[in-house]
Amino acid sequence: MKISFFSSKSYDRSYFNRFNTSYQLKFYDTDLSLESIDLLSDSQAVCVFVNDQLNADVIKQLAAKNVKIIALRCAGFNNVDLQAAKAHGIAVVRVPAYSPHAVAEHAVALILTLNRKTHKAYNRVREGNFSLERLTGFDLFGKTVGVIGTGKIGEAFAKIMKGFGCRVLAYDLQPHPDLVALGIEYVALDALFTASDIVSLHCPLTPQTNRLINADTLQQMKPNAMLINTSRGGLVDTSAVIKALKTGHLGYFGIDVYEQEADLFFHDLSESIIQDDMLMRLMSFPNVLITSHQGFFTEEALCQIAQVTFQNIRDFEAGQLNPSTTLVQP
């Protein structure tokens, strides 16, 4: 089988080539879209990432080119029209559980950096400035942390914060018994917002969670609270966050994802004029930390992504798709 990879980078080529045993791989730097779909030739499988847009029109064209399976090398699938895939008989698989610790630990890194201002201290010391002025942080011990979404990543994050000595509140439609046994409290969403010193998002992007963080929910949060998003950019109304930062109500904002990241993240734009005014406004705040969707980016996660993706395709060929990784049966 020939597999075409879109939105591929050097690390995709490295890890997928390392674990490939039988497939013909073709890598494209460009995103998959109607404009790039003509690159496909004789591929029965496409492997895509978070910013490839597989809407109904794209999927129709994939079907016309005899593509039989869409393999997501990520956990999220909000960028794929699953109904269209089902209508055209195209299987859709994903990697739902690649090293959840990678993303959870990155969320903790954002918290610690924003709190203790290590990024600012690092730059100061390199310039010979050893002053501690304006580097004051706070103890995580004893603080209340709200976790929205307790799937595998949210579970790992909640356990880490419990280890810091935090009181951990959680919201999920399906409470996790193991977390309850550890003393993590499941509460209503409103109660989580009003009680938490730190709120971290670990839920998928769905019509129900779109703009979960908005003017109303931000107002419910404690003054000077910290908001962390390592899940999907669409969970957050960025304009509302900017207003909350300007008034001082929101104390800290750390993100590894951004709603309009498709034309920004994963690219070197250091010699370009960035046209996204909201992102540039966010970057102007001293209490905002932005990383470019690198939460997944560990050796363990990249190995797991490649291995599970290939296993998904082998299962498809054998007619034995794994229910835990399959979104659409052909």
Q: Assess whether 116 carries a catalytic annotation.
A: no
Q: Hey, is 112 helix, strand or coil? A: helix
Residue 225 burial by Cβ neighbours in a 10 Å radius (0-12, 13-18, 19+): buried
Annotation says 232 is catalytic: yes
Tokens of 161: 């914060």
* Residue 255: partners with Cβ closer than 8 Å, 6 or more residues away: 110, 228, 229, 230, 233, 236, 282, 288, 289, 290, 291
DSSP 8-state symbol, 106 = H
From the candidates 88, 94, 232, 259, give the one annotated as an active-site residue. Answer: 232
Told to judge if 261 belongs to the known catalytic residues of this protein, a careful annotator would answer yes
Instruction: Indicate which residue of 73, 88, 94, 293 is catalytic.
Output: 293
Say how far apart CA 36 and CA 46 lie, in whole Å: 12
Phi-psi region of 183 (alpha: psi -120 to 50; beta: other; left: phi over 0): left
Quote the DSSP letter at residue 184. Answer: P
| Spatial distance between the Cα atoms of 26 and 8, rounded to a whole number of angstroms | 10
CB count in 10 Å sphere of residue 301: 19
β-strand pairing of 144-148 with 198-201 = parallel
Q: How many residues does the chain have?
A: 330
**Residues designated catalytic:** 232, 261, 293
